[in-house]
Every structure is written in structure tokens, then in C-alpha cells.
């Protein structure tokens, strides 16, 4: 049909060229020329269209690529005809074909061929929408013919508003090849993905493999980029378990998908045993970890949850989100500073929390190197006040959210987090409260992570700054880290430091390259990657345990426990008092030397470190 209609269009363009050239007055000689040259023009232009791939494309998907192909085809034939005319080979009854006719035909033919395709696209788009504001439907291939793939097929069939039509599936299981799931055929393996995208005019590839390793996701995404189709991925198992999304909410592939974290099996009964029906206090509730703690704690239906933080905007935001949840839990927003002893005492007296998750802390390493007193008063003194009141008001469980930077600290932030762990450990030996700490590395996409900075740098055209070409960091996802924090709280007997399995360390340079590629750009071509050197207090490689703590497995494969340390409570509190006095006096040198003495780390000194 395309070839037939194009033939009619080519003849119409040639006839129009004759009529325009001769003002609509054609004598017998020019009529003869028109009908003699028409088959030649039609044949040459159809062959050229075929050669330039015009007939390998559907008219309803016409875009700039198709227009360029038509332009090349039309110009090629016009150039050939002009050459033949110059050689005197387009002669009929002693009269050469006019140059004007050839040029007019070129313009008319291009415009009419393009117009027919654009009209077909407009007609298709109009028929696919109830009104012009609805999305154009996309043709999709689903990668993964397992349970997740079948869920995608089922929900997309029920959700016509998503604008996605599945044309087939792809799976590497040879037993599934050429089989049908409902009306959808499994066309081939992922190695054939690029060819299948071209053959079936695919706009989108949906990756329905929630537990696939990151290397597999990366390989499929690279194929999609090569085939110039849009990759979409089924929400990961962490998101599905959390209940905030459905499988119909397909999203772009992200760095989190390439991190390759295995799903966690939670012991819900053990977590419920210390949360359900109780009053739970979460400090730093407006932050990345604190807000996710609130979301997940709600599922275990405490009696009420106190969301405490200094920033009113972040607390308001998480309060509004939690209020929309169906769980019958009282949400109490508390704007307060953990360093304010009078305010903390009032909160404990009024609400009597039974479980405390302490996530409030300054965590940005370079900033704390520049603001040492603030790190002391917030991370150390604030933890001390909260932990003391937990003991005094007989809190059942106290969980400190710590950091891998507390291990052999090289920064002020790391040293203060280590001191917070020491406070918790020293109190556990003299209190009825079960104190524990949970230590883990960087959380991908949290507000303090490097990802938002890189995204901003990419948006500004670069360069993307990396501290060191060989620097590595441990990374995990926000929902995963919070699930493990809750599970560690159920395991606590008192004084332990729980260490979360962070997997393998990730090269920061690799992470930067991946983010640039996900933005549709090329590293060091479109966006420059610049190594700027380690900042004050930063390590080249992070650690998760000191040599003295040892490492013991728990009943959960992703949670390990470091043995409690014997810490002299009186000595520690005396040191803290001196440290806080120095911090309030803004005596940075005394603060640093005191920190070094207390935690036994090798702190950097000054900005030149």
C-alpha cells in the first residue's frame, strides 16, 4: 500500500510540475512528455525510497528520521535526472525535459511524500486518544516471561490509560521461546533484543526482572540505548514490599537498579514484638533515613509515633505523607532540637516513648570539618541527652543510627559518631533500656549523598567532580537500610553494634560514569569528569569494623554484630563535659585533640589535611 500510494503521489507531483511550469496550458507535445517520463520518474523514485529504507518504516511513526530519508531519496533522483538532462538524454520528440519541471517536481514530490506520512501519523494519534491531551500509545517489549512479566501483562491490559501496548516478550529460558502467554508471544532471547525492537517498531522495553543481577540490567539497558528505545523497569522488590507502588507504575532505570542489592526477608513478628502498640520516637524524622523509618514503622502499627526534627518544613512534609496512610496510628509532629535538654525532658515526660530511633545527626564530612563545635554539640551532646532521658524514663529499646565513618575515624564527623556509639554502650551496662547501634555506609540518593550534586552538575553542563579515581564507598538503598535497622532493633540484647552487609564497595568513578550515561550523555565527551582530590576528613576506602570489635553472624544473613566494648561510663562522661565546654568556647584545637584522645583515631588537623 505504501508503494502504491507513493506511486500516485510521484505522478501527481510530476503532473503538478508540468502544470505550474506551463501555467496550466499543456499542448499535445507536453502531454506526451508527461506520460512518457511519468513511468521513469515513478520507477526511479520508488527504487530510491527502497534503497534509503523508507519502506522499512511505518507511516504512523513518522518523525525527523523518516523525513531525512525521504529528503535524501528525492534529492538523489533529482540529481540523477538533472545530470541526464545536462547530457541531453531526456529528449522526447526533439524537445528536452525542462530544468524547471525537474526542480518543481523535486519540491512537490518531497512535500507530498512527507505530508502523506504526517497526516497518517496525526490520524493515528487522534484515533488513539479520546482528546488531544491524552498520551500517544507506545509499543513495548517485556523482558522476562516469569511471574513478574505476567503481572505486567495483566495490569497493562487493565490499565489502558497508561498508553502502552505490549507486542511481545523476551526471555533467555529456552523452554519459553516461541511460547504464548495469553495473546503475547515470547519472540526470543535478550541477545535478539535490538533486532526485535527494529522488526516490531518498539518504542519501549519493560524490564520485568525484579531480582535480576545488576550486570544483567546494565546489559539490557545498553542494548536499549543502542537500539534507541526507552528502557523502563518494574519497581524493585524493596518498593513492592513497602507497598507504596504497584507493578503498573513503571519507571526509568536508575542507579539503584544497577547497585544490585538482593531482597531482604524481614522477620515481621520479631519487629512487631517491640513496636506494635507502643509509643515510638524518631529523631531526625525529616531526613532521608528518619522519614523512611517513619514510613516503615507505621506498617507495624505502633500506638503513636513522634516525628521529631528541627526543620519545620521537612517535618510538615513527612507528617502530611503519613497522615494519608491507612494505618490507625496517631502521628505527633515535634519541632525540637535534641541539644535542648529542657525541651527533651518535657517531651519524654509528656509522651513517655517506649522505643527510640535516634537518626538526628550532622553527617556531611567536609562541612563538619569546617564547623567542629556544631558536630560536637549535635552528634555527641545531643545523643547523650537523648540516651540519658531514655534511661531515666525507662525506654524499652534505643537504637542509634551510626555510620561506617565511626570506624578508625579520620574526620570530626566520624569521631563524633564513634563517641555516640560509646555513649550508648556505656549506658547499656547500667540501664534497663536495651541500647544498640546500627552501623552502615552511604545511602544512595539520600539528601547528603553525592548523587544530587552530580545531577546538578550534569544539568549545568559539567564537569562532574570526583574526589579520587580509585576511591570506593559502600552503598545501599534507603528502604533496605531502614529494614535492617528495624530488624537489628529486634535482635538487640544490649550494647551491640550491628553492622549491615553493604556488599562490595563501589568505585565512585564508575558511579559517576553510570549517572552520566543515564542522563543520555557520554562521559568525557558530552560531560567532563574531573578528579578534584580527597576533601578534609575523607578516606580513600571506608571500613565497617575495628579490629577489637570482631564480627559475629546473626540469624539474618545481612546483619552482623560487633561485640560490646567495656567503656568506663564515668570517665567517658567526664571527657564529654570537657569536650562540650571546648566546643562552646569554639576552641577547635582542644576539641580535635580531645576527640583524638577519646576515640583513639587518627583525625586530620586543619584544612590542609
Each residue of 370-395: pLDDT tens digit?
A: 898 999 999 999 999 999 999 999 99
- Angle separating helix axes 2-21 and 99-127, nearest 10 degrees: 140
With H, G, I as helix, E, B as strand and everything else as coil, classify residue 476. Answer: strand
Q: Per the structure block, which three cell numbers stand in for 417?
A: 559518631
For residue 451, what is its C-alpha cell? 548523587
Residue 466's alpha-carbon distances to 1, 218, 454, 510, in angstroms, are 56, 22, 9, 10
Contacts of residue 258, defined as CB under 8 A and 6 or more positions apart, other chains included, come to: 214, 217, 218, 514
What end-to-end distance do the CA atoms of the chain give, in Å? 74
Residue 460 has a pLDDT of 81
Of 398, 364, 399, 408, give the one whose Cα is nearest residue 482.
Answer: 399
What pLDDT score does 382 carry? 94
Whole-number Cα distances in Å, 583 to 157, 423, 436, 563, 586: 63, 18, 26, 31, 5
Task: Report the C-alpha gap between 248 and 155 in whole angstroms.
Answer: 6
Alpha helices in 177-304 (DSSP H): 193-199, 214-227, 237-242, 255-259, 268-275, 288-298
Provide the CA 372 distance to its chain's centre, in angstroms: 33
Q: Cα–Cα distance between 219 and 225 in angstroms, integer?
A: 10
Determine the pLDDT at residue 131: 45
Domain boundaries, the chain: 2-127, 138-253, 273-442+475-502+544-599
SS3 342: helix
Which is it for the CA torsion 583, 428, 409, 256, positive or negative?
negative
* SS3 (DSSP) at 456: helix
Report the C-alpha gap between 176 and 475 in whole angstroms. Answer: 36
Residue 245, pLDDT score: 41
Does the domain spanning 273-442+475-502+544-599 belong to CATH 3.40.50.720?
Answer: yes
SS3 labels along 568-603: CHHHHHHHHHHHHHHHHCCCHHHHHHHHHHHHCCCC
Establish whether the linkage from the previous residue to 328 is cis, with ω within 30° of 0: no
Residues of the chain with pLDDT under 50: 130-134, 237-248, 545-549, 601-609
Q: What is the CATH number of domain 138-253?
A: 3.40.50.720
Q: Please report where in the chains the cell 512528455 appears, as a residue.
A: 33
- What pLDDT does 237 receive? 43
Q: Which of 473, 498, 496 is nearest to 484 (CA)?
A: 498
Q: Is 224 exposed, middle or buried (0-12, 13-18, 19+ CB in 10 A)?
A: buried
pLDDT of residue 128: 53
Return the residue matching grid coordinates 580509585. 470
Give me the pLDDT at residue 400, please.
93
Closest CA to 561 of 479, 490, 505, 483: 490
Please indicate whether the domains covering 138-253 and 273-442+475-502+544-599 agree at the CATH topology level: yes
CA distances from 120 to 59, 150, 564 (A): 6, 33, 73
Amino acid at each position: 500500500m505504501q508503494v502504491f500510494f507513493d506511486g500516485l503521489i510521484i505522478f501527481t507531483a510530476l503532473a503538478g510540475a508540468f502544470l505550474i511550469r506551463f501555467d496550466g496550458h499543456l499542448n499535445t507535445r507536453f502531454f506526451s512528455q508527461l506520460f512518457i517520463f511519468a513511468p521513469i520518474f515513478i520507477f526511479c523514485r520508488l527504487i530510491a525510497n527502497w534503497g534509503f529504507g523508507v519502506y522499512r518504516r511505518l507511516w504512523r511513526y513518522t518523525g525527523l528520521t523518516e523525513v531525512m530519508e525521504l529528503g535524501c531519496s528525492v534529492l538523489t533522483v533529482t540529481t540523477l535526472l538533472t545530470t541526464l538532462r545536462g547530457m541531453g538524454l531526456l529528449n522526447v520528440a526533439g524537445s528536452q525535459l525542462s530544468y524547471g519541471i525537474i526542480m518543481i517536481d523535486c519540491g512537490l514530490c518531497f512535500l507530498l511524500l512527507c505530508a502523506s506520512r504526517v497526516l497518517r501519523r496525526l490520524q493515528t494519534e487522534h484515533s488513539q486518544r479520546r482528546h488531544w491531551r491524552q498520551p500517544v500509545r507506545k509499543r513495548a517489549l517485556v523482558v522476562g516471561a516469569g511471574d513478574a512479566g505476567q503481572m505486567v501483562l495483566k495490569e497493562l491490559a487493565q490499565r489502558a490509560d497508561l498508553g502502552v501496548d505490549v507486542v511481545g516478550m523476551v526471555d533467555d529460558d529456552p523452554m519459553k521461546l516461541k511460547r504464548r502467554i495469553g495473546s503475547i508471544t515470547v519472540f526470543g532471547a535478550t541477545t535478539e533484543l535490538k533486532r526485535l525492537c527494529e522488526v516490531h517498531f518498539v518504542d519501549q522495553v519493560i524490564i520485568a526482572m525484579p531480582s535480576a543481577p545488576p550486570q544483567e540490567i546494565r546489559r539490557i539497558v545498553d542494548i536499549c540505548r543502542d537500539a534507541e528505545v526507552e528502557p523502563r523497569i518494574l519497581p524493585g522488590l524493596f518498593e513492592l514490599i513497602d507497598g507504596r507502588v504497584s507493578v503498573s507504575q513503571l519507571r526509568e532505570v536508575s542507579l539503584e537498579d544497577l547497585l544490585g542489592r538482593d531482597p531482604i526477608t524481614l522477620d515481621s513478628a520479631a519487629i512487631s514484638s517491640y513496636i506494635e502498640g507502643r509509643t515510638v520516637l524518631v529523631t531526625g524524622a525529616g531526613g532521608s533515613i528518619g522519614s523512611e523509618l517513619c514510613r516503615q514503622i507505621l506498617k507495624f502499627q505502633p500506638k503513636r509515633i513522634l516525628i521529631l526534627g528541627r526543620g519545620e518544613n521537612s517535618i510538615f512534609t513527612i507528617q502530611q505523607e503519613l497522615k494519608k496512610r491507612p494505618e490507625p496510628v496517631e502521628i505527633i509532629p515535634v519541632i525540637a532540637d535534641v541539644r535542648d535538654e529542657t525541651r527533651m525532658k518535657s517531651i519524654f515526660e509528656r509522651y513517655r516513648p517506649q522505643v527510640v530511633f535516634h537518626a538526628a545527626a550532622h553527617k556531611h564530612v567536609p562541612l563538619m570539618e569546617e564547623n567542629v563545635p556544631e558536630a560536637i554539640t549535635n552528634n555527641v551532646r545531643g545523643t547523650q541527652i537523648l540516651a540519658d532521658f531514655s534511661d531515666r524514663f525507662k525506654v524499652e529499646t534505643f537504637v542509634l543510627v551510626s555510620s561506617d565513618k565511626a570506624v578508625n575515624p579520620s574526620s570530626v564527623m566520624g569521631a563524633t559518631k564513634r563517641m555516640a556509639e560509646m555513649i550508648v554502650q556505656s549506658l547499656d551496662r547500667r540501664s534497663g533500656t536495651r541500647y544498640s547501634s546500627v552501623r552502615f555506609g552511604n545511602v544512595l540518593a539520600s539528601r547528603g549523598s553525592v548523587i544530587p550534586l552530580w545531577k546538578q552538575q550534569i544539568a549545568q553542563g559539567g564537569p562532574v567532580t570526583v574526589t579520587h579515581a580509585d576511591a570506593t564507598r559502600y552503598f545501599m538503598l534507603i528502604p533496605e537500610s531502614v529494614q535492617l535497622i528495624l530488624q537489628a532493633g529486634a535482635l538487640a540484647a544490649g550494647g551491640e553494634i550491628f553492622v549491615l552487609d553493604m556488599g562490595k564497595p563501589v568505585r565512585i568513578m564508575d558511579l559517576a560514569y553510570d549517572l552520566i550515561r543515564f542522563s543520555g550523555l557520554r562521559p568525557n565527551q558530552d560531560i567532563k569528569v574531573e578528579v578534584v582530590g580527597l576533601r578534609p576528613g575523607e578516606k580513600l576506602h571506608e571500613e565497617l569494623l575495628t579490629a577489637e570489635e570482631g564480627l559475629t553472624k546473626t540469624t539474618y544473613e545481612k546483619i552482623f554484630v560487633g561485640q560490646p566494648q567495656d567503656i568506663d561510663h564515668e570517665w567517658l562522661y567526664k571527657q564529654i563535659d570537657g569536650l562540650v565546654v571546648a566546643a562552646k568556647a569554639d576552641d577547635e584545637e582542644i576539641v580535635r585533640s580531645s576527640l583524638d584522645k577519646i576515640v583513639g583515631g587518627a583525625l586530620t588537623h586543619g584544612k590542609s589535611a
